Chains A and B, each alone.
Chain A
């Protein structure tokens, strides 16, 4: 297809998928241009904390940092941050794209386009009954992760004290017909349990309650990891998603209304803090990007991969919920398909 021109491949999105795809294409000798709408590369995964307890719990957060470091040392890959794609022309093999950075528009010829727009965590305020954004001590798993990463400790936002009793509510924004997200985000059970183990390793006195529907497995050593969690006295497994979270405005302590099979009735349990394991939704700008590039959405509301010959590829979580580990594998396989396309196969 390509007339042997040496146009670079344009990769939209500087998250882990975009970075790995860029690095892999560079390893194949393909010139690459990477654009990222935020001010820095790394995307959602770059702000995750290390969730190790006695040993590594395979959350892959450190692999993201490594790849970020690797690409920052790769000067041959041209990288533009705070840049968005505003126009596309031309056809497969030589696209003419217009990129705007701080108001300035520049033109770029690209042999192929890889969309690695990534995902956003589900906006937890959408589930009003949990009171995210209203109740101080209801946080999302992302906030908890950033607390651990950037401050190395966890505390109740209301009074800065260490929460003795934390409730983890799963499937917030995933497998939920009421908000139209009919898919499992695949990562929340794993990262929630890893967060619990990491927290209990640092603060053995903290107890956690894991409120879930079905525990989704993740990876080869998850079986032993889950058994370790089940044997951990400080973790309580309750198979029921709570209906509502109340808070007392004075002490900011919380009460969670849930159906507890042990006691056989609906109860309101007191907790110091509630963590919502938010699922993932397609990046908000990705919809405009999809219209721009003529990409449709699949049934689950993520980007559908276009017809093979068009020279446009979709990789990473924006094509469907994935954890970092499979996003990296997917990015590598996309790089292989891009290389095939450039060779005219």
Chain B
């Protein structure tokens, strides 16, 4: 799922300074699961903002609402009547939600409350790790199910580099070296020979971000 972290509090305070009535909109899906922008964290942020503004004598009125998902037009429309009553929106959903509301409500200023960070896996309760770069051209079958594009600091396709020592990446000591994992897993699957074949350069033009913002269309589904 999409993983995000709340933005530094001072930053949010700063860009909300000119406004005194806003809508704080959470999202019930990914940011709820990673405890960044669900109803609980949204209410916490709202309460903190009210107190901070009260402390400097400029009270801030915050309406709170958390639709099930912010990236669907219907859920955005649900907020339309409250939008009329506020000067700005602080959305604590991921970047997608913020931009959906921006598209649906062109006249209202909108601010992100979280930093959307990566597509990740829950390694333990409260610990999430990056797993996918959404490059649009998956190579996981070549690397025993571990993606070097997302999990290697140098995105090597013929790793490991000279800096991998006792299974850890030299750039971040706590991160596992993706290629050590690929090597170990290939060994356990008995597919070490596959690692001796050179993986050719990745075609970034096929479906990756480098070929420009992407769009998926299913003609059969179109209404």
> Is chain B in direct contact with chain A in the complex (CB below 8 A)?
no
